[in-house]
Chain A
Amino acid sequence: GAGVSQSPSNKVTEKGKDVELRCDPISGHTALYWYRQSLGQGLEFLIYFQGNSAPDKSGLPSDRFSAERTGGSVSTLTIQRTQQEDSAVYLCASSQTVWSNQPQHFGDGTRLSIL
């Protein structure tokens, strides 16, 4: 597609439920990144993929968070047993490759609210 596409745009769920967030990167971009933005804050790095490989998972806040990417395109971020502190905007970005130094372009995010 023309830009990074994320779905759903909004998600409200009860504490303890699992959620799955989806990111469809710009066509041809092999690098994909997930960030989290809490209210009024900057962006916090979570994880990135080069192709289907995730070399750096150190940004994931806990073992309740996981991400996968198959086919080198769409990625899903899964949060299990959600907690209220997981409420945030989850942003996805993509770039041509992680090594090309090309800038990352962002989607509009998924706004996650945990009740």
Chain B
Amino acid sequence: GQQLNQSPQSMFIQEGEDVSMNCTSSSIFNTWLWYKQDPGEGPVLLIALYKAGELTSNGRLTAQFGITRKDSFLNISASIPSDVGIYFCAGQLPPGGTSYGKLTFGQGTILTVHP
């Protein structure tokens, strides 16, 4: 089945630093999504990417859908303490087939920001 490799597994950074994390897949995805999860809560959507090569920003967050459609990265600029949490990438397969609707998730990147 599809697998997503997300790295790094964890990051410890100082407030104000930039952060970069990425995901690679053995399969082609039609959509890449990035979510953030705080303790005790469900994942919250940060950025959705729908086209190969697409570069999208949401405030201090920037994400790109890789040209090969098998990878994506997320950058966070000028980190602040509230950026702490677990970040997940997720991919959705192209249309067709009964598995189209499900998301395949990476293992997550745990981000710690020191003030």
| A residues adjacent to B (C-beta < 8 A) | 4, 31, 33, 35, 41-45, 48, 50, 55-56, 58-59, 91, 93, 98-99, 101, 103-109
Minimum C-beta distance from B92 to chain A (A):
8
B4, B6, B30, B40: the one within 8 Å of A101 (CB): B30
Please give, as numbers and ranges, the residues of chain B lying within 8 Å of A105 by CB-CB distance.
Answer: 45
User: In the complex the two chains form, is A43's CB within 8 Å of B88's CB?
Assistant: yes
Contact with A along B32-70 (1 / 0, CB 8 A): 010100001111110010100000000000000000000
User: In the complex the two chains form, is B99's CB within 8 Å of A58's CB?
Assistant: yes
CA distance A103 to B46 in the complex (A): 10
User: In the complex the two chains form, is A103's CB within 8 Å of B88's CB?
Assistant: no
In the complex, which residue of chain A has the Cβ closest to the Cβ of B31?
A: A101
Interface size class of B (residues with CB under 8 A): 20 to 34
User: In the complex the two chains form, is B105's CB within 8 Å of A56's CB?
Assistant: no
Minimum C-beta distance from B56 to chain A (A):
12
User: In the complex the two chains form, is B103's CB within 8 Å of A104's CB?
Assistant: yes
User: In the complex the two chains form, is B88's CB within 8 Å of A50's CB?
Assistant: no
In the complex, which residue of chain B has the Cβ closest to the Cβ of A55?
A: B98
User: In the complex the two chains form, is A103's CB within 8 Å of B43's CB?
Assistant: no
User: In the complex the two chains form, is B105's CB within 8 Å of A106's CB?
Assistant: no
